[in-house]
Amino acid sequence: MDGNEHERKRVLVTGADGLIGRLVMEALDDEYELIGLARNLSGYATVIADISDLAALLPVMEGVDAVVHLAATSAVESPWARVLPDNLIGTYNVFEAARRAGVERVIFASSNHAIGTYETENAPALYELGDGRAWDHHADIRPDSLYGVSKVFGEALGRFYADHHGLRVFCLRIGGVRDPEDPSHPNQLWADMGDTSPETVAKRKRMRAVWLSERDCVQLITRCLESDERWALVYGISDNPRQFWDLGHARGILEYAPRDGAPEAVE
Amino acid sequence: MDGNEHERKRVLVTGADGLIGRLVMEALDDEYELIGLARNLSGYATVIADISDLAALLPVMEGVDAVVHLAATSAVESPWARVLPDNLIGTYNVFEAARRAGVERVIFASSNHAIGTYETENAPALYELGDGRAWDHHADIRPDSLYGVSKVFGEALGRFYADHHGLRVFCLRIGGVRDPEDPSHPNQLWADMGDTSPETVAKRKRMRAVWLSERDCVQLITRCLESDERWALVYGISDNPRQFWDLGHARGILEYAPRDGAPEAVE
């Protein structure tokens, strides 16, 4: 600990043992004083707590400047029995505990699945280069799953806490973050080019459209940690040629400047 | 029971003992075969069940054609401890039980509080005659309360069940329905004209802006019961001179034709 330790913002990261959580814990460790929260012991968790337990969250929030709320059941097909405690009750507890502790800002990992039906209705044509369609943050909500409904709930809750309790709230409709070793990572897609079934080809194209690179993800979260805005709802993807969610608002309100874009090749 | 009994739609009304529930149970009894559901025994309840109990709801849905889902904690300032079971879990249970039983349609009593912050930010100027501002169903969600957040959740859930499970879903952002004997009923407002405090005057003006008359409420619900649309999200108010929510979509998609408007007088 050096003399500037007290000047670094203290940031609580929920879901610190998840894919994005691990990324944040590694990349932001120098700039911020990070507290990693997870349900189970892991290399990145410094606090063990279940976000569905408000009483357990309250002491963790003391002295925290910002929360990066990533903890959730993240599978699109998650059943109600998981969505209810992990995403609905858990997200309420995070916002409410933050409010009670006087935390200034919450960054909420929402999801494109809050409006996923625009995609399910228009795929796979939507994935084509030059399709040109893009939905922005004013699109009517159209969740494609209970998981998506839970993200709409979290966004609505965030807007309420921003408007009526003075928190700064940033909701990121994240596309797809992948481990570099994951076969579905855009840089890995060429490995299985032998499989040209329509379904696999569509999946590859989709991943190129919705990809959020590791460093763009870190940049976007950092922008939220430093922003003077009270509220923002933006899409979290890299500057992908096949993108069908609008990045204009993220560029404008958060000065997000993605450095990556999913690689392209002729199929 | 006459020979046409089997041709009448069977309609389950949740919250049958509430203000709107009683109204519906009285007004639609001839046209529909009504089943009134309430948590406690009352004159209008024919089935006693708590909507936070999915298992209790399932048998009630058998053979039902439509659900008018009114049961909820309805106070704007309701705490999380009531919003969670009554509005979040309860509304999920109603949609899910309807889906499992093959119910064709659900009419969901949403609320203007799903976007109530537009009002809190602009009141009381917004209540003035000729102010002219009006928000439509595409307005970004801005709940003014946990209650409002729960209504956003119900709308998102409804959209999901309409888009992905084939239900017909109608969400009504209801303004204010009042018992004719209630002192805050627009027809009663003249009784307390002696009180001219700014707060009371603003309350009276607000009620004139957001009022939904008993017969307009019944008409709107009937339009939803008979509509061929798959999905609609509309505001539920009478044709009030001070209205600040747009009725165009309700008129267009549901052929809603309000017969009332809050009475005006010089204050």
Chain A hits for B156, Cβ within 8 Å: 114, 141, 143, 148-149, 152-153
Whether B235 is a known active-site residue: answer: no
CA distance B8 to chain A (A): 33
- Domain range enclosing B34: 5-254
ipTM score for this prediction = 0.95
- Per-residue pLDDT tens digits for A187-246: 876 666 677 888 888 888 999 999 999 999 999 999 999 999 999 999 999 999 999 999
Q: Is residue B66 part of a domain?
A: yes
- Per-residue pLDDT tens digits for A67-79: 999 999 999 999 9
Lowest mean pLDDT among A8-17, A113-122, B87-96, B177-186: B177-186
Chain B hits for A92, Cβ within 8 Å: 80, 84
- pLDDT of amino acid A166: 98
Mean pLDDT value of segment A105-126: 97
pTM of this prediction?
0.96
Q: Is residue B260 part of a domain?
A: no
- pLDDT of amino acid B24: 98
Q: Is residue B118 part of a domain?
A: yes
Counted domains in chain A: 1
Q: Is the per-residue pLDDT at A1 higher than 50?
A: no
CA dist., res. A259 & res. B7, Å (int): 63
Q: Is residue B219 part of a domain?
A: yes
CB pairs under 8 A between A and B: 81
Q: Is residue A150 part of a domain?
A: yes
- Per-residue pLDDT tens digits for B144-181: 999 999 999 999 999 999 999 999 999 999 999 999 88
- pLDDT of amino acid B182: 86
Chain A hits for B138, Cβ within 8 Å: 138, 140
Q: Is residue A257 part of a domain?
A: no
- pLDDT of amino acid B1: 44
Q: Is residue A129 part of a domain?
A: yes
Q: Is residue B266 part of a domain?
A: no
- pLDDT of amino acid B181: 87
Mean pLDDT value of segment B222-228: 98
- pLDDT of amino acid B189: 66
CATH number at residue B165: 3.40.50.720
